[in-house]
Structure formats: C-alpha cells, structure tokens
C-alpha cells in the first residue's frame, strides 16, 4: 500500500515505511500529509518473558517489527509499533474468540486501565529511535448485556483489550488521560517528533 497524497502539514524527505497492516495506524499517519509505504512485518509476537514489563515488551515487539522490514528495504526509514492493554500488571492481547473477548472486556468495566504503544524507527537494519507512550482509559460501568451486544458486532475480535475507541466501542470509554492517538494505535505527536529529529520529514 502506498500513500501518494501530500496535502497535510509535513513532507517526506526520505522513503518512509509503516511496518504495520493496521488501517488505524495508516489513517493516523496519512492525516499528517507524510508520503509513505505500508509493508506488514509478518512478525509473530512471542509471549512476554517472566518479569518483563508491558512497556519493555511493547518496545521489544516494535523494534522487531521495524527491523524485519528494514532488512528488506535498505535506506528506508521504517516505523514499527506495538500497542497493548494492561490492567493490574496483566497484559491483555487480542482475544482468541468471542468468549475470551467478553471475559476480557468485563475485566475492564468500571475500571481504569493502561494502554501502551511501543514504537521504533530503524534505518539500514539498525534502530535509530525507540520509545513508548502510555495513556489511561476508564471503561464505564456497563452491564453484561451491553458488553455482550458489543462483542456480537465482531469489532473487538482483533483489538487489544477487546474494544476500539475509534469505532463502535467509543461509547465504552468514559474518560482518558494522555494521548488519544496512542490508544488508537500510534502516538502521532511522538512519532512526528522523532521523524523531525532524524530529518526524515520537514514542515511544508
């Protein structure tokens, strides 16, 4: 996939690749006007290691995704990202089925939880920038029937934490603290900050 338009605020100075098949990350980056290609990394995320923090785990995955594409495209600036949800130290990945999705969502109802995105930028198979961004979100105190009806839409089945703040699940989120785009899947402020830092983009 290639984003050919450049009608935003920033202009690409380098060949930029988003190492993600996520349409949400694509739309967030496209809105800035940056011209970039999209190539899925194909990286299979391993289970977290014992005592590995969610922040370290997300950055590790983001780096692996970025590097797996970077080695195929020398000279390109490759952005990798990995977003996860955790509560009480327990990482909630993508649900395995509808029952798992419901159990996961019910564990969040009426509570605050964390959303962390690990991000990495690589060039010539070397990491040049890596970081994580954290946000907090509060899911309202909805009934099991409401949660079940939402799961039945199918939207949560490929979402970390079993909900999409940018989709049908927007009604679930009563309050957030921190970056909204981070919860969607790509912390845009920090990403633009790093791309400017390494002279991969400029202001139009």
Q: Which residues are catalytic?
A: 82
Q: Are 58 and 65 in contact (CB under 8 A)?
A: no
| 3-state SS assignment for residue 142 | coil
Q: Are 195 and 9 in contact (CB under 8 A)?
A: no
| 3-state SS assignment for residue 68 | helix
Torsions phi, psi for 92 (to 5 deg): -110, 110
Task: Choose among 36, 41, 139, 122: nearest CA to 82.
Answer: 41
In the chain, which residue ranges form alpha helices assigned H by DSSP?
A: 23-30, 54-70, 98-108, 144-152, 180-184, 188-197
Task: Choose among 66, 185, 82, 179: nearest CA to 127.
Answer: 66
């Amino acid at each position: 996939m290639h984003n050919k338009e450049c009608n935003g605020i920033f202009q690409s100075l380098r060949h930029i690749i988003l190492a993600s098949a996520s349409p949400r990350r694509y739309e967030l980056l496209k809105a800035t006007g940056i011209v970039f290609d999209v190539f899925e990394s194909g990286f299979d995320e391993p289970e977290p290691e014992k005592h590995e923090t969610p922040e370290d785990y997300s950055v590790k995955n983001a780096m692996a995704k970025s590097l797996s594409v970077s080695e195929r495209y020398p000279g390109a600036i490759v952005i990798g990202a990995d977003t996860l949800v955790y509560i009480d130290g327990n990482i909630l990945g993508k649900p395995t089925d509808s029952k798992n999705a419901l159990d996961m969502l019910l564990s969040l109802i009426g509570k605050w939880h964390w959303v962390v995105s690990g991000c990495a930028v690589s060039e010539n198979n070397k990491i040049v920038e890596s970081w994580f961004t954290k946000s907090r979100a509060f899911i309202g105190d909805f009934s099991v029937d409401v949660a079940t009806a939402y799961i039945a839409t199918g939207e949560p089945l490929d979402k970390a934490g079993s909900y999409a703040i940018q989709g049908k699940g927007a009604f679930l989120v009563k309050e957030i603290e921190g970056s909204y785009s981070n919860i969607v899947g790509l912390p845009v402020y920090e990403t633009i900050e790093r791309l400017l830092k390494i002279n991969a983009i400029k202001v139009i």
